[in-house]
Amino acid sequence: MSAAEGAAGANPANPERLRERLRDLLGVDRWVEANFPAVAPSAEEEVVKLLQSYPGEIMVIGQGTSFPSEFTPPSDALILLTSRLVEHFSYSAEDQVVEISAGWSLAEARSRLSSVGVVVPALERFPNGTIGGRLAGISSRHTGGRDGWTQSLLGITVATPDGEKLQFGGRCIKDVAGYDLRHIFTGSRGNLGVILKAIFRCRPQSEWAAYGYPVSTPRPAGRISPVLRKLLDPKGRMRSGV
Ligand X SMILES: Cc1cc2nc3c(=O)[nH]c(=O)nc-3n(C[C@H](O)[C@H](O)[C@H](O)COP(=O)(O)OP(=O)(O)OC[C@H]3O[C@@H](n4cnc5c(N)ncnc54)[C@H](O)[C@@H]3O)c2cc1C
Query: What residues make contact with ligand X under the rule CB under 6 A?
Result: 60-67, 82, 102, 106, 126-130, 132-134, 136-137, 139, 189-190, 194-195, 221, 240-242
Measured between alpha carbons, how far apart are the two ends of the chain, in Å? Answer: 33
Q: How far is the CB of 79 from ligand X (least distance, A)?
A: 10
Tell me how many helices (H) and strands (E) the chain has: 8, 12
Q: Which is nearer to ligand X, 15 or 64 (CB)?
A: 64
Q: Which residue number, 141 or 189, has a Cβ lying nearer to ligand X?
A: 189
Of 21 and 197, nearer to ligand X (C-beta) is: 197
For the bound state, the minimum distance from the C-beta of residue 216 to ligand X, rounded and expressed in Å, comes to 12
Name residue 8's amino acid.
A
- Least separation in angstroms between residue 167's CB and ligand X is 14
Report angle CA 161, 85, 173 to the nearest 5 degrees.
75
92: left (phi over 0), alpha (psi -120 to 50) or beta: beta
| Cα–Cα dist 66/21, whole Å | 30
Smallest gap from residue 67 Cβ to ligand X (A):
5
Would you say 20 or 42 has its CB closer to ligand X? Answer: 42
Other Cβ atoms within 10 Å of 49 Cβ, number: 20
